[in-house]
Homo-oligomer: A and B are copies of this chain.
Amino acid sequence: MPKISNRGLAMPESPIRKLVPYAEKAKSKGVEVIHLNIGQPDIKTPEVALDRIKNIDLKVVEYSHSAGFESYRKGLANYYSEISKGITFEDIMVTTGGSEALAFGFSTCMNPGDEIIIPEPFYANYNGFAMAAGVKVQPIYSDIKSGFALPPIEEFEKKINKNTKGILICNPGNPTGYLYSQEELNQLKEIVAKYDLYLFADEVYREFCYDGKQHYSILNLEGIENNVIVVDSVSKRYSMCGARIGALISRNKEFMKTALKFGQARLSPPTFGQIASEAALETPDSYFEEVNKEYIERRDLLIDGLNSIDGVYCPKPGGAFYAVAELPVEDSDHFCQWILEDFELNGQTVMMAPASGFYATEGKGKNQVRLAYVLEKEKLKNAVDCLKAALKKYNEK
């Protein structure tokens, strides 16, 4: 039998995946599993997007341009110009989800052996894209005590060496929900300019900012226009994860030209998804107002509930729909498995993502979990009750 590649063997598995068999087992026993472990919102996709698909009048489902349909890119240019003045459709490449934007971005900017700095905890799939591209992740610890604010800029400087090519942030963050301030982003700007690094920002949760806080895009950082690469996606914005439509946005023309060569090799992003996404640009503001109102209520219910449990600490996130909580346990991997295997309250149990999978540093986040508040409030309330009773029982053992 021929061998699997080293990178194939080293590719990380999803931190959630190992719990799936335990969730299946719970379900087979008739226990309802409340899924706080994944970021698949239950929010409805805007009707304007689905209607466009239902009224499609294609005879042949053709390839689009490798950078995406020009009409869609022009529509996106309108959207991004409101975020940062002067963005044109030529600064935008449509990708197959934010995932492909990250993969193309990494391959365009970095060679195997190069390094990228990422504040941890971070979205676990960044590891997969780095591994696939042969790039090494240099994590920087951000502390739950500060609500996962940007680590001191000196910590970044300590990690920079001749192989360092970039810094990647997720803003607002998955898994932390932390929303970086303009001041924090300006600190990043200084160091990016000083060492001429790429600054990647995954801004897919941009529209989900709470408590009157404004999202500040790195596209607005003046003086480092050629360093700034934004990764985006329609998945969460329009609750359209399955459309697999994302984007790379940059004013760096050489970067865009090179990324397009990777895009040409894979021919084009999905046609149906682009059609739905172009229509979704017409989603009324009221949709976002309603969705944000809903997420704020869910967040408050979940976070306040968590913090009312003895020994649990969860900073209140300023955006996205995730939170990382510290639990009064030593090993959340074990606890998350145990609650699925051995616990139920009123026929329900809770599936959470152990936070260790979101840290690159071995041993970090062992008593933390990530929770996604993408379910209706009734379920979140039950989840908090269940978790409270479970922690009590677990710690009595």
Chain A interface (Cβ within 8 Å of chain B)? 1-2, 4-9, 11-14, 17, 40-45, 49-50, 53-56, 58-64, 96-97, 99-100, 103, 107-112, 114, 125, 128-129, 132, 134, 165-166, 196-198, 226-227, 239-244, 252, 254-255, 258-259, 261-262, 264-273, 276
Residues of B within 8 Å of A55, CB to CB, are 54
Contact B165 A2 (CB under 8 A): yes
Residues of B with C-beta under 8 A to A240: 61
**Pairwise interchain contact B61-A258, C-beta atoms closer than 8 A:** no
Which residue of A63, A196, A242 has the most chain B CB atoms within 10 A of its CB atom?
A242
Evaluate contact between A2 and B53: CB separation under 8 angstroms: no
Could you tell me the distance in whole angstroms from the C-beta of A229 to the nearest C-beta in chain B? 10
B63 adjacent to A242 (CB under 8 Å): yes
Q: Is the CB of B53 within 8 A of A265?
A: no
A-B residue pairs, 3 tightest by C-beta: A242-B271, A128-B265, A272-B272
Say yes or no: A11 contacts B258, CB within 8 Å.
yes
Q: B11, B134, B243, B271: which contacts A262 (Cβ < 8 A)?
A: B11
Q: Known: A60-B44, A61-B276. Contact between A271 and B254, CB under 8 A?
A: no
A97 touches B128 (CB 8 A): no
A252: nearest residue on chain B (CB-CB)?
Answer: B1
Known contacts: A60-B42, A63-B242. The answer to whether A4 contacts B268 by CB under 8 A is no
Contact A128 B270 (CB under 8 A): no
CB contact under 8 A between A271 and B243, given known A5-B110, A17-B264, A45-B59? yes
Report which residue of A55, A103, A196, A244 has the largest number of chain B beta carbons within 10 angstroms of its beta carbon. Answer: A244
Q: Return the contact of A226 from the options B1, B111, B129, B242 (Cβ within 8 A).
A: B1
In the complex, the answer to whether A43 meets B14 with C-beta atoms within 8 Å is no
Distance to closest chain B CB from A122 (angstroms): 14
What chain B residues lie within 8 Å of A264 (beta carbons)? Answer: 13-14, 17, 125, 128
Tell me the nearest residue of chain B to A128, going by C-beta.
B265
- Kindly list chain B residues whose C-beta atoms are within 8 Å of the C-beta of A269: 244
A261 to B63, Cβ gap below 8 A?
Answer: no
Partner of A1 from B63, B165, B254, B267 at Cβ < 8 Å: B254
Q: Is A243 within 8 A of B61, CB to CB?
A: yes
Contact A273 B270 (CB under 8 A): yes
**Residues from chain B with Cβ under 8 Å of A100 in the complex:** 266
Closest chain B residue to A258, Cβ basis: B8
Shortest beta-carbon distance from A218 to chain B in Å: 14
A49 to B12, CA, bound (A): 36
Alpha-carbon distance between A100 and B165 when the two chains are bound, in angstroms:
26
Report yes or no: A107 in contact with B8, Cβ–Cβ below 8 A: yes
Residues from chain B with Cβ under 8 Å of A114 in the complex: 5
Bound-state CA distance A58–B276 (Å) is: 13
Chain B residue nearest to A110 (CB atoms) is: B5
A58 touches B50 (CB 8 A): yes
CB A1 to nearest CB in B, in angstroms, measures: 4
Q: Would A8 and B109 count as touching, CB distance under 8 A? A: yes
CA–CA, A166 and B5, complex, Å: 12
